[in-house]
A and B are shown apart, each in its own frame.
Chain A
């Protein structure tokens, strides 16, 4: 019953890159979250990690078929095959890294999904609303734990370092400002915001959450060097 939708080049390929990377990174997030389902610092967080893992795997599973709707390959893919950010390539080394990824990487993917809520690509818009419904609890978890770690003197530095790395990769995921890829998608009504706006949204979210915690305001710089960046790998 699912039909291929009429979206032409270059928007079709640009959407394909973003949709595939979104799905791959969500599949990888699910895997990384799941690894903490028995080892988080509190039982409540272990349960939350399991629940978030299940959500992310569901988001990936629901997102891959969009590729088929776009007339692209990999519509039958169910788990990531390498197209995820390097920070998600292996088990997260400590709980501060988990929280940093939850905060910055999950936050960036959600910012992108939010920008697709009214997408001209109906299948993406429909999924976006459901994903955002489920991501609310992820954002609450990230914010609460980020504030907790930022206030804890012993783990503050580890968290700040992890957040810096997670931001660096998440910020690059959105791509270069003024890039042709997003310009075409924004003009076509497929995505409401470009890379700069996505980074700004995540930067504001992180800044507000860490206010009054004692952690010096993180720099969260704008990526400058785009040499080697590709729309497929997004890093």
Chain B
């Protein structure tokens, strides 16, 4: 239940550089909810190791998830496996990016 709400919340967290959600960009690797600790645990990856928007994105994710009444804390781990490639971009995000003139 809460896990589903986490996924839904992530649909509304946009990449600061492209108006596509972090979900659409394929940045979210895993989501879990610890009901006892009331904590959301996320594994996320980035398009590039030097992505300058990492901190912004993580702040936005935290803000979005902490708005949920059942979440008191958010743990985010950055992982590099799987390696992000364009294949991780969701089809709806691909369509949005093409409309913006971004080749994917």
Q: With contacts A57-B50, A59-B49 known, is A129 near B75, CB below 8 A?
A: no
Contact assessment for A62 and B75 in the assembled complex, using a CB-CB cutoff below 8 Å = no
CB contacts under 8 Å to B, within A8-63, are 30, 54-59, 61-62
Which of the residues A1, A58, A133 comes within 8 Å of B83, measured between beta carbons? A133
How far in angstroms is the closest Cβ of chain A from B88? Answer: 13
Binary A-proximity of B66-92 (CB < 8 A = 1, otherwise 0): 000000000101111101110000000
Contact assessment for A130 and B50 in the assembled complex, using a CB-CB cutoff below 8 Å = no
Contact assessment for B79 and A54 in the assembled complex, using a CB-CB cutoff below 8 Å = no
**Is A74 on the interface with B (CB-CB < 8 A)?**
no
**Is B51 on the interface with A (CB-CB < 8 A)?**
yes
Interface residues on chain A, number (Cβ under 8 Å): 19
**Is A2 on the interface with B (CB-CB < 8 A)?**
yes
Binary B-proximity of A126-154 (CB < 8 A = 1, otherwise 0): 11011101100000000000000000000
Contact assessment for A126 and B49 in the assembled complex, using a CB-CB cutoff below 8 Å = no
Besides A1-B75, A55-B48, A62-B49, 17 more A-B contacts (Cβ < 8 Å) are: A1-B77, A30-B50, A58-B48, A58-B50, A58-B51, A126-B79, A126-B80, A127-B49, A129-B80, A130-B49, A130-B81, A131-B49, A133-B83, A133-B85, A134-B48, A134-B49, A134-B50
A residues within 8 Å of B by Cβ? 1-2, 30, 54-59, 61-62, 125-127, 129-131, 133-134
19 contacts between A and B (CB under 8 A): A1-B41, A1-B77, A54-B50, A55-B48, A55-B49, A56-B50, A58-B48, A59-B49, A61-B49, A126-B80, A129-B80, A129-B83, A130-B49, A130-B80, A130-B81, A130-B83, A130-B84, A134-B48, A134-B50
The 4 closest A-B pairs by CB, nearest first: A58-B50, A58-B49, A54-B50, A126-B81
